[in-house]
């Protein structure tokens, strides 16, 4: 079993909720890697017997860092229409809400389709070296990252940088076929923009993460275990919060996901 | 009373929920303008006696178009931390969920702050003509829009355009001092990207809208009734859904909000 599948595994309970367990493989500095928590909440809707279609949008609000150990996840369809379904999802520990999420699922039909943006021109993944894992938290060891630009600074020398742009080839480590679960986790795998911009460490924490899925299950399946190209940047850092927008591009240059988050930082 | 304040007014009910009413002034083709619904849900947390701080993030999921008439809004803090508060909000009619939302509020402190992106260079608002209101839905009459580029196509001639980029000076009409309520509505005031890209009308509906507030109340107050500069674009249109990312820039060139949505469209 892939460590991501272990980390996002949910056991159905008699009351319709699910039981999960944090995974040391995806630990962060404090609590679990947010991407895996997001994937876990998505998985609760995905596994739910009332599910309609596939995810189009997922918003995860990180209210508190879950402690190591068990948690429960409840997912309920707030409304089911003919082709769309709206989910409300909560992760609790000892009865307390640690994470909330909403998701929109949909049955997609073929329509006129057209990209507007394309991926940047970058060297192929296999021409780049895998990023160092020295001083990286456990979760980062479960991604193979090959940076074109904007990797974690080699030194926190407090030299302010002009931007926080990242371009990185990334895949699960060990390799795992791409699906909605792994894609939703991967969308949170970009290092905090404030570390890149300031080359300075600061306590940070994502407070809200939204991912739009532009791909359906068939397009994700076609990616297999190939690396995907991630791009990320910030617009603004102001009084304790910065934003990040990221795109994830597939091997065929398709946009698989676009993802946005707002992150708390301490000075 | 400004029509936006009428449209977002909420009356506290004995059970802790609020009663609101759709407003003909902000009607859309089907149901109310989504921006006003978003503002109404934000207002429920804003007015709640348990509120801590100011909004940082708001996600609104449009599950069904509310019918004209009364609705109730419930807002509950799912978790309150020392400086952040996570809200779950629902709008119901006849007991049925029409709209759900989550919001993160925070007490901001002064920290190192720095923009990364800036607004595009554009002509001043008063050098541009106000956009025509011919064939526009009622809500659009309550915005003064002056397009630098990417206004509503003059004709739906089905000529595919290379992009869907909009730059527009916009303010409430009649003028109203900017605050979180009006800003959250204004973030949804960009015409559907698919209309611009295809120059073709199609039924559309936002399914999920996320707004990040980069400004605090003082910075918004300083904008007064001046127009703000909005920019919007799409990344991808695929099988019934497209995304939109927008930014709203203040008179002092500060980023006031960034906003993202995913929109259903029919072919």
Residue B207 in contact with residue B244, Cβ under 8 Å? no
Residue matched to tokens 């999802």 = A89
Average pLDDT value over all residues in chain B:
97
Burial of B144 (0-12, 13-18, 19+ CB in 10 A): middle
- Cβ contact (<8 Å) for B88 and A88? yes
ipTM beyond cut 0.85: yes
Residue in A51, A57, A84 with CA at minimum distance from that of residue A214: A57
Quick: pLDDT tens for A210-257: 999 999 999 999 999 999 999 999 999 999 999 999 999 999 999 999
CA atoms of B187 and A37, how far apart (whole Å): 29
Nearest chain B CA: its distance from A141 CA (Å): 29
Closest by Cβ to B243, choosing from A193, A234, A258: A258
Question: What pLDDT score was predicted for residue A267?
Answer: 86
User: CA-to-CA distance for B215 and B92, rounded, in angstroms?
Assistant: 30
Q: In the Cβ-directed half-sphere of B2, how many Cα atoms lie within 13 Å?
A: 16
CB pair distance less than 8 Å for B63 and A79? yes
The continuous run of DSSP H or E covering B202 comes out as none
Q: How many CB pairs under 8 A join A and B?
A: 218
pLDDT tens for B211-233 read: 999 999 999 999 999 999 999 99
For residues B223 and B256, is the Cβ–Cβ distance under 8 A?
yes
Residues 6+ positions from B218 with CB-CB distance below 8 Å: none
Q: Say which of B61, B84, B117 has its CB closest to residue A236.
A: B117
Q: Is the pLDDT of residue B118 over 90?
A: yes
Does residue B101 contact residue B58 with C-beta atoms inside 8 Å?
Answer: yes
| Inter-chain residue contact A63 with B57, CB threshold 8 Å | no
Q: Which residues of B touch A30 (CB under 8 A)?
A: none
Cβ B237–A115 below 8 Å, yes or no? yes
Cα(A261)–Cα(A247) distance, rounded to whole angstroms? Answer: 12
pLDDT tens, A133-167?
999 999 999 999 999 999 999 899 999 999 999 99
The neighbour count for residue B152, using CB atoms within 10 Å, is 19
Q: Which of B116, B233, B261 to mutate to test the interface with A (most CBs of A within 10 A)?
A: B116
Q: Which residues of A touch B198 (CB under 8 A)?
A: 112
Indicate the residue of A57, A81, A234 with minimum beta-carbon distance to B208: A57
Q: Which two tokens stand for residue A127?
A: 């021409």
In 3-state terms, what secondary structure has residue B34? helix
Please give the Cα distance from A194 to A201 (Å, whole number).
8
Measured between CA atoms, the residue of chain A closest to residue B112 is: A267
Nearest to B255 among A56, A198, A235 (CB): A235
Q: pLDDT value at position B83?
A: 98
Cβ contact B234–A116 (<8 Å): yes
**SS3 label, residue A139:** helix
pLDDT tens string A59-118: 999 999 999 999 999 999 999 999 999 999 999 999 999 999 999 999 999 999 999 999
Q: Which among A102, A214, A216 has CB closest to B236?
A: A214
CA distance B94 to B72: 9
Q: Tell me whether residues B240 and A109 touch, CB distance under 8 A.
A: yes
Comparing CA positions, the residue from A19, A66, A22 lying closest to residue A44 is A19
Please give the Cα distance from A223 to A236 (Å, whole number): 33
Spatial distance between the Cα atoms of A216 and A180, rounded to a whole number of angstroms: 9
Tell me how close the Cα of A173 comes to any Cα of chain B, in angstroms.
28
- pLDDT for res A136: 94
CB A260 to CB B262 under 8 A?
A: no
Instruction: For residue B46, give how far its alpha carbon lies from the nearest alpha carbon of chain A (Å).
Output: 18
Closest CA to A145 of A108, A181, A178, A172: A172
* pLDDT confidence of residue B267: 85
Q: Peptide bond before A122: cis, by omega within 30 degrees of 0?
A: no
Q: Hey, is A207 helix, strand or coil?
A: strand
What average pLDDT does the segment A112-130 reach? 98
**DSSP state, residue B30:** S
Q: Identify which of A208, A236, A260 has the shortest CB distance to residue B104.
A: A208
Distances (CA, A) of B125 to B101, B131, B238: 33, 12, 34
CB contact under 8 A, B214 and A233: no
Answer for the pair B39, B32: CB distance below 8 angstroms, yes or no: no
At which residue do the structure tokens 């998505």 appear?
A42
Q: Is A8 strand, coil or helix?
A: coil
- Among residues of chain B, what percentage have pLDDT more than 90? 98
Smallest Cα distance from B89 to chain A, Å: 11
* pLDDT level of residue B177 (50, 70, 90 thresholds): very high
pTM of the shown model: 0.98
Look at B155 and A179; give whichever has higher pLDDT.
A179
Pair of tokens at residue A237:
């850092």
């Amino acid at each position: 079993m892939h460590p991501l599948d272990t980390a996002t595994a949910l056991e159905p309970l008699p009351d319709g909720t699910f039981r999960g367990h944090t995974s040391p493989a995806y630990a962060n500095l404090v609590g679990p890697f947010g991407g895996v928590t997001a994937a876990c909440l998505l998985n609760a809707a995905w596994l739910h017997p009332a599910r309609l279609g596939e995810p189009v949008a997922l918003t995860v609000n990180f209210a508190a860092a879950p402690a190591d150990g068990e948690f429960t996840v409840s997912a309920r369809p707030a409304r089911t229409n003919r082709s769309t379904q709206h989910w409300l999802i909560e992760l609790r520990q000892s009865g307390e809400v640690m994470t909330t999420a909403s998701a929109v699922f949909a049955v997609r039909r073929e329509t006129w389709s057209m990209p507007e943006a394309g991926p940047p021109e970058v060297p192929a993944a296999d021409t780049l070296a895998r990023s160092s894992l020295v001083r990286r938290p456990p979760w980062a060891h479960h991604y193979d990252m090959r940076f074109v630009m904007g990797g974690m600074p080699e030194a926190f020398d407090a030299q302010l940088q002009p931007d926080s742009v990242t371009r990185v080839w990334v895949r699960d480590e060990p390799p795992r076929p791409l699906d909605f679960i792994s894609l939703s986790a991967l969308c949170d795998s970009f290092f905090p923009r404030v570390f890149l911009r300031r080359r300075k460490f600061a306590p940070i924490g994502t407070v809200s993460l939204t991912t739009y899925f532009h791909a359906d299950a068939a397009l994700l399946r076609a990616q297999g275990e190939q690396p995907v190209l991630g791009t990320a940047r910030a617009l603004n850092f102001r009084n304790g919060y910065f934003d990040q927008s990221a795109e994830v591009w597939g091997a065929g240059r398709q946009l698989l996901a676009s993802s946005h988050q707002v992150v708390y930082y301490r000075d």
